[in-house]
């Protein structure tokens, strides 16, 4: 079938223009979402660097404190004190929404405990064990916070990549192809109108 055999209609042209307008509107919204997600990502990245540094510091301090407690109180005493722990920390996983991306929100309780509520006898242990317990409670809080932030960053990155692919597909493929078809239909309709006008003139003549 040649170009001359293609006979588009005005309604097809109108529908195509609607599709282009809708695609351009979607493209604009997706670009705004992509840019917003990138801003959110870099904001969280700054926090992540701080939390990672705090986590490293907390780990070094906890390792140092448990080493001191082991060398002074003995490994057996430290282990038996650890087994005396009454309540394990409770982790509650919730979620929040960042521009359509569902990210985790981790709530924890019973991480930090007062000395009398840790389960071991205060009189039978040294202050070094208390310091080690404090250090590990602090470390656990940093681990929970780091897990939340790093999971959030991963999900944001995944959605940024997905949104970028959709933006590029609309910008470089879908919209140009629709416009190309629209231009062809407009030219063909104009050509058909000229043919009809010429035919009518001949009939009148």
86-106 per-position pLDDT tens digit: 666 778 888 889 888 999 888
Decide which of 28 and 115 is more confident. Answer: 28
- CATH label, 8-66+89-112+137-197, candidates 1.10.10.1100, 1.10.287.3240, 1.25.40.10, 1.10.1520.10: 1.10.287.3240
CA distances from 162 to 91, 103, 104, 157 (A): 31, 16, 19, 9
Q: Is the pLDDT of residue 168 over 80?
A: yes
Work out the mean pLDDT of the chain and round it to a whole number: 86
| Contact between residue 112 and residue 135 where contact means Cβ atoms under 8 Å apart | no
115-157 per-position pLDDT tens digit: 655 656 554 567 888 888 889 889 988 999 999 999 999 999 9
pLDDT of 93 reads 84
Q: How confident is the model at residue 169 (pLDDT cuts 50, 70, 90)?
A: very high
Q: Kindly tell me the sign of the dihedral angle through the C-alpha atoms of 173, 179, 184, 185.
A: positive
* Rg over CA atoms, the chain: 34
84 strand-pairing partners:
none
Residue ranges per domain, the chain?
8-66+89-112+137-197
Strands (E), the chain: 90-98, 101-109
pTM above 0.85, yes or no: no
Q: Kindly tell me the sign of the dihedral angle through the C-alpha atoms of 101, 89, 112, 132.
A: negative
């Amino acid at each position: 079938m040649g170009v001359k055999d293609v006979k588009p209609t005005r309604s097809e042209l109108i529908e195509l223009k609607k599709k282009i307008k809708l695609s351009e509107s979607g493209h604009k919204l997706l670009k705004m979402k992509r840019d917003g997600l990138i801003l959110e990502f870099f904001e969280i990245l700054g926090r992540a660097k701080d939390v990672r540094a705090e986590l490293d510091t907390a780990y070094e301090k906890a390792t140092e404190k448990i080493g001191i407690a082991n060398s002074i109180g003995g490994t057996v005493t430290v282990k038996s004190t650890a087994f005396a722990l009454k309540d394990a920390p409770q982790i509650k996983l919730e979620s929040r929404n960042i521009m359509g991306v569902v990210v985790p929100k981790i709530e924890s309780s019973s991480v930090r405990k007062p000395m009398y509520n840790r389960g071991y006898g205060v009189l039978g242990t040294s202050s070094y064990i208390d310091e080690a317990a404090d250090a590990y409670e602090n470390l656990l809080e940093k681990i929970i916070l780091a897990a939340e932030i790093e999971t959030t960053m991963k999900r944001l990155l995944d959605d940024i990549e997905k949104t970028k692919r959709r933006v590029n597909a609309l910008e470089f493929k879908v919209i140009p192809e629709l416009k190309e078809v629209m231009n062809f239909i407009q030219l063909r309709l104009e050509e058909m109108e000229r043919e009809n006008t010429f035919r009518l003139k001949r009939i009148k003549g």
